[in-house]
Amino acid sequence: MIKEEDRLAAVVADIDEQVAIAPRGAFVKTPHGAVLQNRILKGKKGQSSGAPTDGQSLSVTEAGKQQNYCHFREPVRLNEKSLLEKADLDKSIDFLDPINEDIPKGSWSLKFERGSGLVTITSLLWPGTTFYHVPHTRKYGWIYVGTGEKNKDLPFML
Protein backbone atom coordinates (compact mmCIF):
# COMPACT_ATOMS: atom_id res chain seq x y z
CA MET A 1 0.00 0.00 0.00
CA ILE A 2 1.25 3.48 -0.88
CA LYS A 3 1.13 6.13 1.81
CA GLU A 4 -0.56 9.42 0.95
CA GLU A 5 2.62 11.46 1.43
CA ASP A 6 4.48 9.18 -1.03
CA ARG A 7 1.69 9.54 -3.60
CA LEU A 8 1.68 13.32 -3.09
CA ALA A 9 5.47 13.51 -3.50
CA ALA A 10 5.22 11.55 -6.77
CA VAL A 11 2.45 13.82 -8.10
CA VAL A 12 4.42 16.97 -7.18
CA ALA A 13 7.55 15.60 -8.90
CA ASP A 14 5.50 14.74 -12.01
CA ILE A 15 3.94 18.21 -12.13
CA ASP A 16 7.32 19.87 -11.60
CA GLU A 17 8.91 17.89 -14.43
CA GLN A 18 6.13 18.64 -16.89
CA VAL A 19 5.33 22.30 -16.18
CA ALA A 20 8.49 24.01 -14.83
CA ILE A 21 9.45 26.29 -17.72
CA ALA A 22 11.75 29.26 -18.30
CA PRO A 23 12.27 31.76 -21.12
CA ARG A 24 14.75 30.70 -23.78
CA GLY A 25 18.20 31.93 -22.79
CA ALA A 26 17.43 32.31 -19.07
CA PHE A 27 19.98 29.56 -18.45
CA VAL A 28 23.21 28.73 -20.24
CA LYS A 29 25.13 25.51 -20.50
CA THR A 30 28.89 25.79 -20.11
CA PRO A 31 31.33 23.76 -22.24
CA HIS A 32 31.82 21.55 -19.15
CA GLY A 33 28.09 20.76 -18.99
CA ALA A 34 27.14 22.92 -16.00
CA VAL A 35 23.84 24.78 -16.26
CA LEU A 36 23.96 28.33 -14.88
CA GLN A 37 21.62 31.28 -14.70
CA ASN A 38 22.44 33.59 -17.61
CA ARG A 39 23.87 36.78 -16.09
CA ILE A 40 25.68 38.10 -19.17
CA LEU A 41 22.80 39.45 -21.22
CA LYS A 42 20.97 42.64 -20.34
CA GLY A 43 17.38 43.83 -20.56
CA LYS A 44 16.10 47.40 -20.47
CA LYS A 45 17.64 49.88 -18.03
CA GLY A 46 20.64 47.64 -17.34
CA GLN A 47 18.67 44.77 -15.83
CA SER A 48 20.31 41.45 -16.50
CA SER A 49 18.16 39.19 -18.57
CA GLY A 50 17.61 35.67 -19.82
CA ALA A 51 17.82 36.29 -23.52
CA PRO A 52 17.85 34.99 -27.02
CA THR A 53 20.81 35.32 -29.33
CA ASP A 54 20.49 39.07 -30.02
CA GLY A 55 22.00 40.12 -26.68
CA GLN A 56 18.70 41.40 -25.29
CA SER A 57 15.97 39.82 -23.19
CA LEU A 58 12.88 38.46 -24.92
CA SER A 59 11.16 41.25 -26.82
CA VAL A 60 7.37 41.47 -26.87
CA THR A 61 7.33 39.71 -30.26
CA GLU A 62 9.65 36.92 -29.08
CA ALA A 63 7.77 36.60 -25.79
CA GLY A 64 4.59 35.88 -27.75
CA LYS A 65 6.01 32.69 -29.29
CA GLN A 66 5.83 29.37 -27.44
CA GLN A 67 9.09 28.25 -29.04
CA ASN A 68 10.89 30.77 -26.79
CA TYR A 69 9.91 28.95 -23.59
CA CYS A 70 11.61 25.73 -22.52
CA HIS A 71 11.09 22.99 -19.96
CA PHE A 72 13.54 23.30 -17.09
CA ARG A 73 14.48 19.61 -16.93
CA GLU A 74 16.76 17.19 -18.69
CA PRO A 75 15.91 17.35 -22.42
CA VAL A 76 13.74 14.55 -23.77
CA ARG A 77 13.09 15.47 -27.40
CA LEU A 78 16.37 17.26 -28.13
CA ASN A 79 18.20 13.96 -28.64
CA GLU A 80 15.53 12.86 -31.13
CA LYS A 81 16.24 15.79 -33.48
CA SER A 82 18.12 15.23 -36.70
CA LEU A 83 21.58 16.69 -37.28
CA LEU A 84 20.03 19.18 -39.71
CA GLU A 85 17.65 20.45 -37.00
CA LYS A 86 20.45 20.62 -34.43
CA ALA A 87 22.68 22.63 -36.80
CA ASP A 88 20.51 25.74 -36.30
CA LEU A 89 20.65 25.56 -32.50
CA ASP A 90 22.93 27.57 -30.23
CA LYS A 91 24.43 24.89 -27.98
CA SER A 92 24.84 27.27 -25.05
CA ILE A 93 21.14 28.22 -24.78
CA ASP A 94 19.23 25.66 -26.88
CA PHE A 95 19.84 22.64 -24.65
CA LEU A 96 16.28 22.37 -23.26
CA ASP A 97 13.04 21.19 -24.89
CA PRO A 98 10.79 24.04 -26.11
CA ILE A 99 7.16 23.80 -25.01
CA ASN A 100 5.82 24.15 -28.57
CA GLU A 101 7.10 20.62 -29.28
CA ASP A 102 5.10 19.03 -26.45
CA ILE A 103 2.72 16.20 -27.18
CA PRO A 104 -0.18 16.70 -27.51
CA LYS A 105 0.31 19.81 -29.63
CA GLY A 106 -1.56 22.78 -28.21
CA SER A 107 -1.21 21.75 -24.57
CA TRP A 108 -0.10 25.28 -23.60
CA SER A 109 -2.07 28.52 -23.86
CA LEU A 110 -0.10 31.78 -24.19
CA LYS A 111 -1.67 35.21 -23.81
CA PHE A 112 -0.68 38.78 -23.08
CA GLU A 113 -1.92 40.65 -20.01
CA ARG A 114 -1.72 44.38 -19.26
CA GLY A 115 -1.43 45.16 -22.97
CA SER A 116 1.87 43.54 -23.79
CA GLY A 117 3.45 44.10 -20.38
CA LEU A 118 3.04 40.53 -19.14
CA VAL A 119 2.91 37.11 -20.78
CA THR A 120 1.00 34.32 -19.06
CA ILE A 121 1.19 30.72 -20.16
CA THR A 122 -1.18 28.12 -18.76
CA SER A 123 -0.91 24.36 -19.04
CA LEU A 124 -4.01 22.66 -20.36
CA LEU A 125 -2.56 19.29 -19.31
CA TRP A 126 -2.18 20.31 -15.66
CA PRO A 127 -5.05 22.74 -14.95
CA GLY A 128 -4.04 25.22 -12.28
CA THR A 129 -0.56 25.91 -13.68
CA THR A 130 0.31 29.49 -14.61
CA PHE A 131 3.69 30.76 -15.82
CA TYR A 132 4.41 34.49 -16.12
CA HIS A 133 7.11 36.50 -17.87
CA VAL A 134 7.62 40.25 -18.16
CA PRO A 135 9.09 40.97 -21.63
CA HIS A 136 12.41 42.87 -21.71
CA THR A 137 13.27 41.69 -18.18
CA ARG A 138 14.51 38.62 -16.32
CA LYS A 139 11.26 38.46 -14.35
CA TYR A 140 9.50 35.13 -14.71
CA GLY A 141 8.11 32.32 -12.59
CA TRP A 142 5.33 29.80 -12.25
CA ILE A 143 2.81 28.56 -9.76
CA TYR A 144 0.60 25.51 -9.53
CA VAL A 145 -2.70 25.85 -7.72
CA GLY A 146 -4.62 22.79 -8.83
CA THR A 147 -6.13 19.57 -7.59
CA GLY A 148 -3.23 17.32 -8.59
CA GLU A 149 -5.27 15.77 -11.39
CA LYS A 150 -3.87 15.60 -14.90
CA ASN A 151 -6.28 16.42 -17.74
CA LYS A 152 -6.14 13.01 -19.44
CA ASP A 153 -8.91 14.07 -21.84
CA LEU A 154 -6.76 16.82 -23.40
CA PRO A 155 -5.77 14.87 -26.55
CA PHE A 156 -9.46 14.36 -27.32
CA MET A 157 -10.33 18.00 -26.60
CA LEU A 158 -7.80 19.50 -29.04
Listed as own residue / partner, the contacts of 116-124 with beta carbons closer than 8 Å and 24 or more positions apart are 116/60, 116/63, 116/64, 119/63, 119/64, 121/21, 121/66, 121/69, 123/18, 123/19, 124/151, 124/154, 124/157
Q: What is the pLDDT of residues 38-49, one digit of tens each?
A: 886 555 444 443
Q: What is the pLDDT of residues 87-115, one digit of tens each?
A: 778 777 888 899 999 989 999 999 999 88
Angle, alpha carbons 75-96-20 (nearest 5°)? 90
